[in-house]
Structure 1
Amino acid sequence: MVEATPGYELPLRLFAAFRAIIDATHADLARQGHPDFRPMHGFVFQAIGTHGTTAVELAARLGVSKQAAGKTIANLEKQGYVERAADTADARRKLVRLTAKGVEVLALSAKSFDAIQTQWAQTIGEERLAALHADLRTLAPGELFRLDAPGWLGTER
Protein backbone atom coordinates (compact mmCIF):
# COMPACT_ATOMS: atom_id res chain seq x y z
CA MET A 1 0.00 0.00 0.00
CA VAL A 2 1.28 3.43 -0.95
CA GLU A 3 1.46 5.89 1.93
CA ALA A 4 -0.66 8.99 1.41
CA THR A 5 1.29 12.22 0.97
CA PRO A 6 -0.24 15.48 2.18
CA GLY A 7 -1.70 17.48 -0.71
CA TYR A 8 0.33 20.58 0.08
CA GLU A 9 3.56 18.67 -0.59
CA LEU A 10 2.95 18.26 -4.34
CA PRO A 11 3.19 21.96 -5.31
CA LEU A 12 6.19 22.36 -3.01
CA ARG A 13 7.99 19.38 -4.61
CA LEU A 14 7.19 20.66 -8.11
CA PHE A 15 8.51 24.09 -7.18
CA ALA A 16 11.62 22.55 -5.58
CA ALA A 17 12.31 20.63 -8.80
CA PHE A 18 11.82 23.83 -10.82
CA ARG A 19 14.23 25.66 -8.49
CA ALA A 20 16.80 22.87 -8.79
CA ILE A 21 16.74 23.14 -12.59
CA ILE A 22 16.82 26.93 -12.63
CA ASP A 23 19.53 27.21 -9.96
CA ALA A 24 21.76 24.68 -11.75
CA THR A 25 21.25 26.48 -15.07
CA HIS A 26 22.11 29.86 -13.59
CA ALA A 27 25.20 28.47 -11.87
CA ASP A 28 26.24 27.11 -15.27
CA LEU A 29 25.55 30.47 -16.94
CA ALA A 30 27.61 32.24 -14.27
CA ARG A 31 30.55 29.91 -14.97
CA GLN A 32 30.21 30.76 -18.67
CA GLY A 33 30.43 34.51 -18.18
CA HIS A 34 26.87 35.53 -17.30
CA PRO A 35 26.91 35.94 -13.50
CA ASP A 36 24.25 38.67 -13.45
CA PHE A 37 21.64 36.78 -15.47
CA ARG A 38 18.58 36.07 -13.28
CA PRO A 39 15.60 33.69 -13.59
CA MET A 40 13.27 36.62 -14.34
CA HIS A 41 15.43 37.46 -17.35
CA GLY A 42 14.50 34.16 -18.99
CA PHE A 43 10.82 35.13 -18.88
CA VAL A 44 11.71 38.56 -20.26
CA PHE A 45 13.71 37.07 -23.14
CA GLN A 46 10.85 34.74 -24.08
CA ALA A 47 8.41 37.67 -23.96
CA ILE A 48 10.70 39.77 -26.18
CA GLY A 49 10.86 36.95 -28.70
CA THR A 50 12.86 36.80 -31.90
CA HIS A 51 11.33 39.91 -33.47
CA GLY A 52 11.40 42.23 -30.47
CA THR A 53 8.58 44.00 -28.68
CA THR A 54 7.75 47.34 -27.13
CA ALA A 55 8.04 48.06 -23.41
CA VAL A 56 4.24 48.32 -23.15
CA GLU A 57 3.73 44.95 -24.88
CA LEU A 58 6.45 43.41 -22.71
CA ALA A 59 4.72 44.59 -19.53
CA ALA A 60 1.40 43.14 -20.71
CA ARG A 61 2.94 39.78 -21.65
CA LEU A 62 4.71 39.50 -18.30
CA GLY A 63 1.74 40.74 -16.29
CA VAL A 64 3.79 43.50 -14.66
CA SER A 65 3.56 47.28 -14.57
CA LYS A 66 5.05 49.41 -17.34
CA GLN A 67 7.47 50.81 -14.77
CA ALA A 68 8.67 47.35 -13.77
CA ALA A 69 9.14 46.41 -17.43
CA GLY A 70 11.02 49.65 -18.10
CA LYS A 71 13.33 49.09 -15.13
CA THR A 72 14.06 45.52 -16.26
CA ILE A 73 14.75 46.67 -19.84
CA ALA A 74 17.12 49.39 -18.61
CA ASN A 75 18.99 46.87 -16.46
CA LEU A 76 19.29 44.33 -19.29
CA GLU A 77 20.32 47.06 -21.72
CA LYS A 78 23.07 48.18 -19.31
CA GLN A 79 24.31 44.57 -19.16
CA GLY A 80 24.31 44.30 -22.95
CA TYR A 81 21.56 41.68 -23.30
CA VAL A 82 18.98 43.87 -25.04
CA GLU A 83 18.91 47.02 -27.14
CA ARG A 84 16.26 49.57 -28.03
CA ALA A 85 15.81 50.37 -31.70
CA ALA A 86 13.33 52.16 -33.92
CA ASP A 87 10.61 49.96 -35.39
CA THR A 88 11.12 49.97 -39.18
CA ALA A 89 7.37 49.48 -39.66
CA ASP A 90 6.37 52.38 -37.36
CA ALA A 91 8.92 55.09 -36.49
CA ARG A 92 6.86 56.13 -33.44
CA ARG A 93 7.52 52.79 -31.75
CA LYS A 94 10.73 51.73 -29.99
CA LEU A 95 11.43 48.02 -30.06
CA VAL A 96 13.33 46.11 -27.44
CA ARG A 97 15.41 43.38 -29.07
CA LEU A 98 17.88 40.77 -27.90
CA THR A 99 21.52 41.50 -28.71
CA ALA A 100 24.02 38.85 -29.77
CA LYS A 101 24.88 38.47 -26.06
CA GLY A 102 21.19 37.89 -25.31
CA VAL A 103 20.88 35.24 -28.01
CA GLU A 104 24.08 33.61 -26.71
CA VAL A 105 22.71 33.28 -23.18
CA LEU A 106 19.53 31.68 -24.55
CA ALA A 107 21.60 29.11 -26.44
CA LEU A 108 23.75 28.41 -23.37
CA SER A 109 20.71 27.99 -21.15
CA ALA A 110 19.14 25.55 -23.64
CA LYS A 111 22.31 23.43 -23.51
CA SER A 112 22.26 23.58 -19.72
CA PHE A 113 18.62 22.45 -19.58
CA ASP A 114 19.48 19.52 -21.86
CA ALA A 115 22.43 18.55 -19.63
CA ILE A 116 20.24 18.66 -16.52
CA GLN A 117 17.62 16.50 -18.21
CA THR A 118 20.36 14.00 -19.08
CA GLN A 119 21.49 13.98 -15.43
CA TRP A 120 17.93 13.40 -14.26
CA ALA A 121 17.54 10.53 -16.72
CA GLN A 122 20.71 8.96 -15.31
CA THR A 123 19.38 9.42 -11.77
CA ILE A 124 15.82 8.10 -12.15
CA GLY A 125 16.06 6.30 -15.49
CA GLU A 126 15.03 7.34 -18.98
CA GLU A 127 11.67 5.55 -18.82
CA ARG A 128 10.68 7.23 -15.53
CA LEU A 129 11.73 10.64 -16.85
CA ALA A 130 9.70 10.07 -20.01
CA ALA A 131 6.72 9.04 -17.86
CA LEU A 132 7.18 12.18 -15.74
CA HIS A 133 7.10 14.31 -18.90
CA ALA A 134 3.94 12.54 -20.07
CA ASP A 135 2.26 12.85 -16.68
CA LEU A 136 3.05 16.56 -16.44
CA ARG A 137 1.63 17.11 -19.95
CA THR A 138 -1.56 15.42 -18.75
CA LEU A 139 -1.77 17.28 -15.44
CA ALA A 140 -0.72 20.69 -16.81
CA PRO A 141 -2.07 20.84 -20.36
CA GLY A 142 -2.17 23.94 -22.47
CA GLU A 143 0.34 26.68 -22.96
CA LEU A 144 3.92 25.63 -22.27
CA PHE A 145 5.22 29.15 -21.78
CA ARG A 146 3.25 31.07 -19.16
CA LEU A 147 5.08 34.35 -19.56
CA ASP A 148 2.82 36.06 -17.06
CA ALA A 149 4.42 34.13 -14.18
CA PRO A 150 6.41 37.18 -12.97
CA GLY A 151 3.21 39.20 -12.60
CA TRP A 152 1.36 36.23 -11.12
CA LEU A 153 4.07 35.78 -8.49
CA GLY A 154 4.27 39.52 -7.80
CA THR A 155 2.39 41.56 -5.27
CA GLU A 156 0.42 43.71 -7.72
CA ARG A 157 -3.12 42.56 -8.51
Structure 2
Amino acid sequence: MSSESPGFELPLRLLLAFRVLIDELHTELGRQGHPDIRPMHGFVMQAIGPHGTTAVELGRTLGVTKQAAGKTIETLERIGYVQRAPDPHDTRRKVVRLTPYGLDALTRSARIFDDLRANWAAELGADRLQALESDLRKMTPATLWRLDTPGWFGTL
Protein backbone atom coordinates (compact mmCIF):
# COMPACT_ATOMS: atom_id res chain seq x y z
CA MET A 1 0.00 0.00 0.00
CA SER A 2 1.43 3.37 -1.04
CA SER A 3 1.70 6.15 1.53
CA GLU A 4 1.14 8.74 -1.20
CA SER A 5 -2.19 10.50 -1.38
CA PRO A 6 -4.40 9.74 -4.36
CA GLY A 7 -4.07 12.22 -7.22
CA PHE A 8 -7.56 13.62 -6.78
CA GLU A 9 -6.81 14.77 -3.23
CA LEU A 10 -4.47 17.60 -4.28
CA PRO A 11 -7.05 19.65 -6.21
CA LEU A 12 -9.66 18.99 -3.56
CA ARG A 13 -7.31 20.14 -0.77
CA LEU A 14 -6.40 23.27 -2.76
CA LEU A 15 -10.09 24.00 -3.33
CA LEU A 16 -10.86 23.33 0.32
CA ALA A 17 -8.06 25.71 1.42
CA PHE A 18 -9.53 28.36 -0.91
CA ARG A 19 -12.98 27.72 0.56
CA VAL A 20 -11.73 27.97 4.16
CA LEU A 21 -10.03 31.31 3.44
CA ILE A 22 -13.04 32.71 1.57
CA ASP A 23 -15.48 31.59 4.27
CA GLU A 24 -13.33 33.21 6.96
CA LEU A 25 -13.05 36.36 4.86
CA HIS A 26 -16.82 36.62 4.48
CA THR A 27 -17.46 35.98 8.15
CA GLU A 28 -15.15 38.86 9.02
CA LEU A 29 -16.55 41.11 6.25
CA GLY A 30 -19.99 40.51 7.75
CA ARG A 31 -18.70 41.62 11.16
CA GLN A 32 -17.20 44.72 9.55
CA GLY A 33 -20.40 45.94 7.92
CA HIS A 34 -20.67 43.88 4.73
CA PRO A 35 -23.11 41.07 5.58
CA ASP A 36 -24.66 40.78 2.11
CA ILE A 37 -21.52 40.32 0.03
CA ARG A 38 -21.03 36.83 -1.41
CA PRO A 39 -17.90 35.06 -2.67
CA MET A 40 -18.72 35.58 -6.35
CA HIS A 41 -19.18 39.30 -5.76
CA GLY A 42 -15.44 39.65 -5.14
CA PHE A 43 -14.66 38.38 -8.64
CA VAL A 44 -17.24 40.77 -10.07
CA MET A 45 -16.01 43.81 -8.16
CA GLN A 46 -12.40 43.06 -9.12
CA ALA A 47 -13.50 42.79 -12.76
CA ILE A 48 -15.34 46.13 -12.54
CA GLY A 49 -12.14 47.70 -11.26
CA PRO A 50 -11.42 51.31 -10.41
CA HIS A 51 -12.54 52.73 -13.77
CA GLY A 52 -15.79 50.82 -14.25
CA THR A 53 -17.01 48.63 -17.07
CA THR A 54 -20.12 47.70 -19.02
CA ALA A 55 -22.23 44.56 -18.62
CA VAL A 56 -20.92 43.23 -21.93
CA GLU A 57 -17.29 43.79 -20.94
CA LEU A 58 -17.95 42.36 -17.48
CA GLY A 59 -19.48 39.22 -18.95
CA ARG A 60 -16.51 38.81 -21.28
CA THR A 61 -14.01 39.24 -18.44
CA LEU A 62 -15.85 36.79 -16.18
CA GLY A 63 -16.53 34.28 -18.94
CA VAL A 64 -20.32 34.52 -18.52
CA THR A 65 -23.18 35.86 -20.60
CA LYS A 66 -24.18 39.51 -20.66
CA GLN A 67 -27.45 38.44 -19.02
CA ALA A 68 -25.67 36.67 -16.14
CA ALA A 69 -23.41 39.69 -15.65
CA GLY A 70 -26.46 41.97 -15.75
CA LYS A 71 -28.25 39.98 -13.04
CA THR A 72 -25.21 40.18 -10.80
CA ILE A 73 -24.90 43.91 -11.46
CA GLU A 74 -28.55 44.32 -10.45
CA THR A 75 -27.91 42.45 -7.21
CA LEU A 76 -24.79 44.48 -6.41
CA GLU A 77 -26.62 47.70 -7.23
CA ARG A 78 -29.54 46.74 -4.98
CA ILE A 79 -27.22 46.07 -2.01
CA GLY A 80 -25.18 49.23 -2.61
CA TYR A 81 -21.86 48.02 -4.04
CA VAL A 82 -22.16 49.39 -7.58
CA GLN A 83 -23.99 52.10 -9.48
CA ARG A 84 -24.78 52.47 -13.15
CA ALA A 85 -24.45 55.70 -15.08
CA PRO A 86 -24.51 56.72 -18.74
CA ASP A 87 -21.15 56.38 -20.49
CA PRO A 88 -19.91 59.94 -21.12
CA HIS A 89 -18.42 58.78 -24.45
CA ASP A 90 -21.43 56.78 -25.69
CA THR A 91 -24.87 57.51 -24.24
CA ARG A 92 -26.21 54.17 -25.51
CA ARG A 93 -24.02 52.38 -22.97
CA LYS A 94 -24.19 52.24 -19.18
CA VAL A 95 -20.99 52.10 -17.15
CA VAL A 96 -20.96 50.18 -13.89
CA ARG A 97 -18.76 51.65 -11.17
CA LEU A 98 -18.01 50.67 -7.61
CA THR A 99 -19.61 52.83 -4.94
CA PRO A 100 -17.69 53.99 -1.88
CA TYR A 101 -19.33 51.05 -0.07
CA GLY A 102 -18.00 48.67 -2.74
CA LEU A 103 -14.52 50.17 -2.52
CA ASP A 104 -14.69 49.82 1.26
CA ALA A 105 -15.48 46.12 0.88
CA LEU A 106 -12.44 45.61 -1.37
CA THR A 107 -10.16 47.57 0.97
CA ARG A 108 -11.36 45.60 3.98
CA SER A 109 -11.01 42.33 2.03
CA ALA A 110 -7.35 43.08 1.33
CA ARG A 111 -6.67 43.74 5.01
CA ILE A 112 -8.56 40.63 6.09
CA PHE A 113 -6.63 38.48 3.61
CA ASP A 114 -3.41 39.85 5.10
CA ASP A 115 -4.66 38.87 8.57
CA LEU A 116 -5.66 35.40 7.35
CA ARG A 117 -2.25 34.91 5.79
CA ALA A 118 -0.64 35.95 9.09
CA ASN A 119 -2.79 33.35 10.87
CA TRP A 120 -1.62 30.66 8.45
CA ALA A 121 2.00 31.76 8.99
CA ALA A 122 1.52 31.51 12.76
CA GLU A 123 -0.02 28.04 12.45
CA LEU A 124 2.29 26.54 9.82
CA GLY A 125 5.39 28.63 10.38
CA ALA A 126 6.36 31.57 8.20
CA ASP A 127 9.05 29.57 6.38
CA ARG A 128 6.67 26.74 5.50
CA LEU A 129 4.00 29.15 4.28
CA GLN A 130 6.55 30.99 2.14
CA ALA A 131 7.70 27.65 0.72
CA LEU A 132 4.11 26.67 -0.05
CA GLU A 133 3.50 29.98 -1.81
CA SER A 134 6.75 29.64 -3.73
CA ASP A 135 5.86 26.12 -4.84
CA LEU A 136 2.38 27.22 -5.92
CA ARG A 137 3.96 30.04 -7.97
CA LYS A 138 6.12 27.42 -9.74
CA MET A 139 3.11 25.27 -10.56
CA THR A 140 0.65 27.96 -11.65
CA PRO A 141 0.64 30.59 -14.42
CA ALA A 142 2.26 33.92 -13.64
CA THR A 143 -1.05 35.71 -14.21
CA LEU A 144 -2.56 35.92 -10.74
CA TRP A 145 -5.95 37.36 -11.68
CA ARG A 146 -8.09 34.75 -13.42
CA LEU A 147 -11.40 36.54 -13.15
CA ASP A 148 -13.04 34.12 -15.58
CA THR A 149 -13.42 31.55 -12.77
CA PRO A 150 -17.19 32.14 -12.56
CA GLY A 151 -17.58 31.20 -16.22
CA TRP A 152 -15.18 28.28 -15.81
CA PHE A 153 -17.39 26.92 -13.02
CA GLY A 154 -20.37 27.47 -15.31
CA THR A 155 -22.38 29.65 -12.93
CA LEU A 156 -22.60 33.16 -11.64
Measured against the shorter chain, the TM-score band is: over 0.9
1:22 and 2:34 matched? no
Correspondence for 1:115: 115
- Once the two structures are superposed, the pairs formed by residues 1-157 of structure 1 within 5 Å of their partners are 3-154=3-154
Shift of 1:92: 2.5
> Residues of 2 paired with 1:15 and 1:60: CA distance?
24
> Residues of 1 paired with 2:51 and 2:64: CA distance?
21
Deviations along 1:32-86, one digit per CA (max 9) or x if unpaired, are: 1111100000000111011000000001111111111111001100111000012
> Residues of 1 paired with 2:135 and 2:96: CA distance?
37
Q: CA 1:92–1:46 in 2, change beyond 3 Å: closer, same or farther? A: same
TM-score normalised per structure 2 = 0.95
- Aligned partner of residue 97 in structure 2, secondary structure: strand
Count of aligned positions = 155
Q: CA 1:8–1:147 in 2, change beyond 3 Å: closer, same or farther? A: same
TM-score normalised per structure 1 = 0.95
Deviations along 1:12-42, one digit per CA (max 9) or x if unpaired, are: 0000100010000000001111111000000
> Residues of 2 paired with 1:142 and 1:89: CA distance?
34
Shift of 1:141: 2.1
What 5-or-longer segments of structure 2 have no aligned partner? none
Please identify runs of 4+ aligned residues in structure 1 that moved more than 6 A: none
What 5-or-longer segments of structure 1 have no aligned partner? none
Shift of 1:155: 5.8
> Residues of 1 paired with 2:121 and 2:142: CA distance?
25
Q: Which amino acid aligns with 1:143?
A: T
Q: Which amino acid aligns with 2:64?
A: V
